[in-house]
Amino acid sequence: MKRIITLFIIAFVFAGLAVFQYTKNTPDALSIAAPAADFKPKAGFEATIFKLPALNEQTYQIGGKQPKLSFVNFWASWCGPCELEAPDLQRLSEQYGDKIQMYGVNATKYDKERSAREFVDEYEFTFPILMDRVGDVTKHYKVDTFPTTFLIDSEGVIRERINGVIPYEEWERLLKKWM
C-alpha cells in the first residue's frame, strides 16, 4: 500500500512539474507591444510591434519604424506549400537582402523546432528565422494558413498580406512597388 501511495505522489509531482513547465512564460520567448484594440492584420493597418528570438537566440523586433521594408513570412516545416516557396524566399533574400529586411517566422507552437532547423538547413536560408515558440504572434496576426507573408513598410504599416504561394515574378513586382 505504501508503495502505491509513493508512486502516486511521484506521479503527482511530475504532473505538477509538467504543468508548470508548460505554463511558464520566459521573458525572452516573446514580446508583443500593447496592440491597438482595432488592430487588423491586413493591408493599410499599422503592424503591432513584436520581438522574437531567432534560431541563434538573437532577438529581432518587427514593426514600428524601420529603415527598410520588412518581409515577414510565417511558415511551418510540415507545410507543403512552404517547401515550394522556400527556394524563392532564399532567392529573394539573395537578390533584395540589402534593400529589405527579410524574416521567416516559424510557427513553432504548431511545429517541431528540430524539424524547423532541419528545414532551414535543407533550404540553406541565410535570412533570420524567428521562433514563435509560444504561438502568440502567429495567433495575434491571425495566421491560419501557411505560408502567410506580410510586407510592412518603414513606417510600420502593413502594405500586403499574402496567403499562400505566389510566383517569384509577383514577389518582385510587390517588392518594387513598396520599396
Domain boundaries, the chain: 27-178
Contacts of 85 (CB under 8 A, 6+ apart): 73, 75, 147, 165
| Mean pLDDT value across the chain | 87
pTM score of the predicted model? 0.79
Please name the fold of domain 27-178: Glutaredoxin (3.40.30)
Tell me the β-bridge partners of 71.
102, 151
What pLDDT band is residue 161 in, cutting at 50, 70 and 90? very high
CA dist 74 and 149 (Å) reads 6
Q: Which residue has the higher pLDDT, 31 or 57?
A: 57
Burial of residue 1, with CB atoms counted within 10 A of its CB: 0-12 exposed, 13-18 middle, 19 or more buried: exposed
- Residue pair 78/118 in contact (Cβ under 8 Å)? The answer is no
In the chain, the DSSP E strands lie at 31-32, 50-53, 59-62, 69-75, 100-106, 129-131, 148-152, 158-163
